[in-house]
Structures are given as structure tokens and as C-alpha cells.
Amino acid sequence: MGTAGGSRCSDPRLLVVAFFLAVLVHTASAALNYTRYRPVSSLRLERIQRHLRKINKPPLLTIESPDGDVIDCVHKRKQPALDHPLLKDHKIQRAPTEMPRGKKEEVEGERSPEGAQEMMVTQMWHRNGTLCPKGTIPIRRSSVHDVLRAKSLFHFGKKHPRRTDTPDVVSGNGHEHAIAYTGTTEEVYGAKATINVWDPSIQVVNEFSLSQIWILSGSFDGTDLNSIEAGWQVSPELYGDSRPRLFTYWTSDSYQATGCYNLLCAGFIQTNSRIAIGAAISPVSSYASNQYDVTILIWKDPKVGNWWMSFGDNTLVGYWPAELFTHLADHATMVEWGGEVVNTRTNGEHTSTQMGSGHFPGDGFGKASYFRNLEIVDTDNSLSGVHNIQTLAENTNCYDIKSSYSGDWGTYFYYGGPGRNPLCP
Ligand SMILES: *[C@@H]1O[C@H](CO)[C@@H](O)[C@H](O)[C@H]1NC(C)=O
Ligand SMILES: *[C@@H]1O[C@H](CO)[C@@H](O)[C@H](O)[C@H]1NC(C)=O
């Protein structure tokens, strides 16, 4: 067991492997230092490698992304989801039985009248030029470094419990939000929004900044919350850099034992051979210049019951099988849209980790980040614009949200902020 060689000194279980974590930061704005020396015991390294052998499936082809990601093209039937005990005999659904029906004008074009360029958004690894062959799906390979940045192997790929109460009293754990949400009285079968993409800077490696949709059912103060989530996130801990990446998440027990990000545990079934979950989105918006956004739609297949996700222009990514859930096996009771950051209060001060573009909603288009065309899917699988959303931000001097309505953008909002500033000490 353990690594080869190794000095014979004292207790072999304490054999220490000096590990050099060297991850370059590519953005000019973030001056984070991801380079860390960490002593790792050979037993721990062995455990990590065993876990990685389980989740990194043998690829038919490997593609190197210019950002350092390794993308494995894995046969669809070998993907991690099928390791789930409830999915042993699962027959992969090739496509949903039905897409949600939209209003006519929405089907015809959702281009922003103000210059957002949804069509051009792609993923960094596509620049390699090689694509994954038919019958395979692209999976971002996890490395030992990825796991070592997490608090423990158990924490790797998991979101820590984020709150204990209704959205009116979003709680601590250092998680802060600026979100819009629907009421809790209707049955919801999906949600959609077009989300502006930015690369907010992160102050500390184990903080993150994300912008996403939540599809929820169950109780916020119990252990039965079911959540399906997708959007973009910057998480140095999870990915080793500060690029915004497409991500998914799910849990059926309030972020405790079940669920994970992306394909880092058995659950989400991917059907698309061009989109890698967890891979960087490119290009991103810049201040007072080009704006880029991505459309995410999540809905429940009305016949089969699986929760499908599409990205961009109705590109199917894959689905969360109904078997994974309790409450969501039936329907959702609430949808949230917006941003979340972790504030670890390093040195006793509020974090300077940014949400959205790092600018407050009042700055408006081209400067503040937005979600537009908020829609939900109703009982008969049709999309409709949401009305009567409520908004919430724990501390509007740090991060804020302002919702509005227009003909082209339907219900939309600007959200985000810089974190630490004189009014947010
Ligand atoms: C980053 O941190 C490591 C050790 O933690 C240090 O050796 C290295 O010089 C630092 N790099 C920069 C650019 O500050
Ligand atoms: C694309 O990926 C292949 C396989 O990993 C690698 O050998 C090649 O150098 C990459 N090409 C580019 C242009 O990055």
C-alpha cells in the first residue's frame, strides 16, 4: 500500500508526501494564490485515488482544453450516474417526450434588444477543435489537486448546508444571497431564465460566487429539502481557477448525504456530447462593453417524470432521474433565481468576493449582472412569465437585487455587488 519507496522512519502511516499544488490564475482581476504546500499522508492519497478511479471513467478519447481542463469522452453507458443503486437497470432516455410549450414570441427569438450575444457563448474546451465522438459524453476529469482543495474527501463536490429557514430568513453559514422567488402555494414543473455571465473575483480560495436557478420542494428547516440547481459559478476550491463554469447540483436531503455538483457523484444523466458540465463558459461579459448570457431551462418530463435541463438555444444537456428525489418526484413548490456567495469573514471583515459583475443593480445594463425572461413551467407543461416575484438580499449594502418588467425582457432583475465596502465592513 501507499506510495513506492518511502523512508523507513518511525510510523509508516505518517509517511508524508509533499504535495505541490500549482494552479495558475489566468484572470487579471483575481490575485488569488492557489499555490499551496500541503502534507498529505499516503493513506489519504490512496483513498483519494480510489475515489477518483470510481468517478473518472475510462475515456475513449481525451481532449485537452486551453484552460488546463482535461475532458474525457466517456461512453454514455459508462457515465457515473449509472453507478447509483437506484439506476442499475436504468434505460437512458434519449430525449424528453415533450419540450415545454412557450408563448409564440418567445419561441421566435430571445435575443436581447440591448446587445447581449447569446448565440456566441460556448465552452473554452471547444477551442481544442476536437469533439467527443458519437455515443460518448464529455466529462471534466477530476484531479488529486481538486480533491485536496476540499476540506475533506467527503466535502469534495458538495455544497455545505446553506440555510435553515424559509427564504424570508435565509440563514448564516456565511452564505449570502440576492434572489428572486415565487410563492410557495402553486405546483411548479420547471423554470427558465437567461443569465448574464461574468467572472466575479473571489477573495479566498474556499469562497465561491454563483448565479443560478433553484427548483425546490420540501422544508427549509428540516432534512428533506429537495433541490435541483443549475447556472454558472466561480469556485477556486472546486476547479482551481477563477473562471465562470456551467454547473448543476442536486440534493434530496437538504445538502446532507445525497447529491453533488456536476457529475461528481452518481445522479445526473448526461445525454449531450458537446457540453461538459463543470467546464468554463466563454466568452464572458465585460464592463460597459459586450454582454453575454446563457439560457437555462429545467422542466419535468410530463410523461416519464425525469427533470430535464437544456442550455442555450434548447440544447438538451441531460436529466435528473425522478428516482433521485422524494418531493421532486412529484412537483416543485418554489423556484428561486439569483446569486449566492460565501463570506468567510477573513480577518474579521466582510469578504470582497463579488456577486454577479461586482456592481450594484442600480448601475444597470452593461455594468450590473442580470437575469431576464424569468418563466415557470406549469401543470400542463407550458411556460409562462412569472409575476409577483418577491426578492431578498440579507444585506443590501453588500449585495442587492432590483426586479422590474419590460416587454422584451419580461420579468427580469439586476443583482449583485462588490461585497466589502465602507457600508459593508
Ligand atoms: C503562493 O504561496 C506559496 C506558499 O503558500 C508561496 O511559496 C508562493 O511564493 C506564493 N506565490 C505568490 C505569487 O505569492
Ligand atoms: C487537443 O487535445 C489533444 C488531446 O489531449 C492534445 O494532444 C492537443 O494538443 C490539443 N490541441 C489543442 C489545440 O489544444
Determine whether 394 is an active site residue: no
Is residue 423 in a domain?
no
- Quote the CA–CA distance of 270 and 73 in Å, as a whole number: 12
63 lines ligand 2 (CB under 6 A): yes
**Quick check: is 191 in a domain?**
yes
Q: Ligand 1 center to residue 35 CA distance, Å?
A: 6
Work out the angle at residue 71's Cα, subtended by the Cα atoms of residues 68 and 73, and round it to the nearest 5 degrees: 165
Question: What number is the average pLDDT over the span 383-408?
Answer: 96
> Which pLDDT score, from 0 to 100, does residue 161 have?
59
Is a pLDDT exceeding 70 seen at residue 11?
Answer: no
Is residue 121 pLDDT above 90, yes or no?
A: no
Where in the sequence is the domain holding 315, given as residue range(s)? 12-416
- pLDDT higher than threshold 90 for residue 9: no
Residue 38 belongs to some domain of the structure: yes
Q: What is the Cα–Cα distance from 289 to 266, expressed in whole angstroms?
A: 40
Nearest ligand to residue 59 Cα: 2
**Distance in angstroms (rounded) separating the CA atoms of residues 14 and 6:** 11
Catalytic-residue membership of 340: yes
Q: Is 66 in the pocket of ligand 2 (CB under 6 A)?
A: yes
- Residue 185 pLDDT: 78
| Residue 6 domain-assigned (yes or no) | no
In a domain, 422, yes or no: no
Ligand 2 pocket residue status of 128, Cβ below 6 Å: yes
Q: Is the pTM of this model over 0.85?
A: yes
Can you tell me which atom of ligand 1 is nearest the CA of 33?
Answer: 1
Amino acid at 80: P
Question: Per residue in 160-195, pLDDT tens?
Answer: 755 544 443 344 578 999 999 998 778 999 999 999
- pLDDT at residue 16 greater than cutoff 50: no
**Residue 424 lies inside a defined structural domain of this protein:** no
CA of 252 to the centre of ligand 2 (A): 38
pLDDT of residue 378: 95
How many CA atoms does the CB half-sphere of 108 hold within 13 Å? 4
Query: Across residues 28-42, what is the average pLDDT?
Result: 63
**Can you give the pLDDT at residue 222?**
86
What is the domain count for the chain?
1
127 Cβ inside 6 Å of ligand 2: no
pLDDT value at residue 171: 47
Rg (CA), the chain: 21
pLDDT, tens digit, 9 for 90 and up, residues 360-391: 999 999 999 999 999 999 999 999 999 889 99
244 in any annotated domain: yes
Q: What is the pLDDT of residue 390?
A: 96
Residue 385 lies in a domain: yes
